[in-house]
Amino acid sequence: MTEKISLKQLCFIIFVTFSVSKFYIMPAVVAGASAESSPLAVLLNFIIDFLLLIIVITIIKRSKSKGFYELLCTLFGKVGATIIYFIYGLYFFSKALIPILEQKNSINLTFYESQPTLLTFMPFYLVAFYIILKGFTSFSRSVEITFWLFVLGLIITFSLSIPSGKYQRLLPLYTTGEKLLSGTHSALIWFGDPVILLFLYEFVENKKGLFKKTAISFTASAVTTVLLIVVFYAVFGTIAERQYFAPLKMSKYSITLSNIGRLDYMGALLFSLVSVFSLTLPLMISSLCFTKIFSFKKQFVIPLVICVAQGVLSYFFQNELFPLAEFFTSYVWVFYSVLCYLIPLVILIATLIKTRPIRQLKGA
C-alpha cells in the first residue's frame, strides 16, 4: 500500500502537532528567561521557523525527486544521503524524549491522586508502535479527527483562563534585547518543526498551493501558541517560571469551576489524547530514516527498537525532566540548530545550483 497524505491533512498535522508540543513546560522556561517579554521571545522563534518553512517549501518545489532521500542522493551521493538520514534519525529520536517526559509527568500530576507506578505511561509505547506500523496514511487521518478534540481543548482552556489574567503584567511588552534573546534561546529545542515537511512531502498527493496552505496552518499554530503564552503570563506574572504544565495550571483559578466542577481537567485530557500523535510523529520519522538505511525483512523491527529504546530512556530519566531540559537548552541546542536550520539552508543552496542549468536550458 502506497502511503498518502492529503494537503488538508498535512495542514492539520502542522497546526495540531506543532502547537500542542509547546504547551507544557516551555511557557515556564521562557517566562524564567524573558518574564513579560515571553510572548515576543516565542514570536521571534516562530518568525525564525517561518523563514525555515520558506526554505523547506522552496526545496520541495525545486526538487525533481520523488522524496527527500532521493534528492539527497542526487545532491550528495548515496553515501552522503545515508549519513544525513542517519543523523536525522538520531535527531528525531532525541527530539521525542523531552516531550514524552513532559507528557508523562503531566499525566502523573493530573490524573493520579496516589503515586503512579512505573507502568502507568508504558502503554503509550505500544500505541506508538502500532501507529508507526500503520503508517502515515492512518496517522494523518487520525490527526484530522483529533483536530476537533484539540480545538475543543483550546476552547475549554482559554475560556476558563482568559478572564483570570491580569494583562497589565505584560507591560512593558519589550524590556531589553538580552531578555528577548535569552527567552528565544531557551525555547529553541521546542522549535525547528518545519524540517519535518522534508520527510513528509513524498507522501503528499497534491502539492498545489503547498506554501499558501502550510503557511496559513503554521501561522494559526503560532497565533495559538503565542496567545497561550500571553494568557499564561497574565495569570501568573512573576511566578510563571515555576508553573510547569501550563494547560493544567492556568485554567484552574476560574470562578466558573466553583459552580461546575473541574472542567479544566477535560481540557487537559483532550490535550493528552492529541499529544499521543505529536509524540509519535518524531518517532515515525526516526523510523522512516533508519528504515531507508537498514534493511530488515520484518518491517516491525526498527519501530520496535525505537519504541523500546525510547521506553528505556524514559525509565532512566523519568525523574530528570527539568535537569534534562536544562541540559538540552544549554548544550544540545547547537546540534538541533545545525539539523533544523543550517543543513536545510545548505540543501537549498545545493538544490538551486543543481537546477540552475536546467532552468537556463528551458529558457534558451
Could you read off the pLDDT of 20-53 as tens digits, one per residue? 999 999 999 999 999 899 999 999 999 999 999 9
Tally the C-alpha atoms within 13 A of residue 124's C-alpha that lie toward its C-beta: 29
Task: Name the residue with cell 522512516.
Answer: 288
Tell me, what DSSP letter sits at residue 244?
-
Closest CA relative to residue 222, chosen from 36, 7, 40: 40
Please give the pLDDT value at position 86: 96
- For the chain, the C-alpha Rg in angstroms (whole number) is 21
Q: Which three cell numbers stand for residue 47?
A: 518568525
**Cα–Cα distance for residue pair 210/56, rounded to 1 Å:** 11
Look at residue 275 and tell me whether its pLDDT is greater than 50.
yes
User: Which residue type, as a one-letter code, is found at position 166?
Assistant: K
What does the pLDDT average to over 72-77?
93
Please give the pLDDT value at position 267: 83
Q: For the chain, list the domains and their CATH numbers.
A: 7-363 (1.20.1740.10)
CA-CA-CA-CA torsion sign (246, 281, 6, 60)? positive
**Cα–Cα distance for residue pair 49/192, rounded to 1 Å:** 6
| Helix, coil or strand: residue 90 | helix
Please give the pLDDT value at position 364: 36
Look at residue 290 and tell me whether its pLDDT is greater than 90.
yes
Task: Find the Cα–Cα–Cα–Cα dihedral 150, 102, 118, 309, rounded to 10°.
Answer: 100
**Cα–Cα distance for residue pair 300/307, rounded to 1 Å:** 11
C-beta neighbour count of 178 within 10 angstroms: 11
| Helix, coil or strand: residue 64 | coil
Cis peptide before 172 (omega within 30 of 0): yes
**Cα–Cα distance for residue pair 311/305, rounded to 1 Å:** 10
**Cα–Cα distance for residue pair 17/158, rounded to 1 Å:** 18
Counting residues of the chain whose pLDDT is more than 90, the rounded percentage is 65
Model pTM?
0.91
Look at residue 323 and tell me whether its pLDDT is greater than 50.
yes
**Cα–Cα distance for residue pair 287/303, rounded to 1 Å:** 6
Tell me the per-residue pLDDT of 201-228, one tens digit each, with 9 for 90 and over: 999 988 888 999 999 999 999 999 999 9
Q: Crossing angle, helix 210-236 and helix 136-161, to 10 degrees?
A: 30
Look at residue 115 and tell me whether its pLDDT is greater than 90.
no
Look at residue 85 and tell me whether its pLDDT is greater than 80.
yes
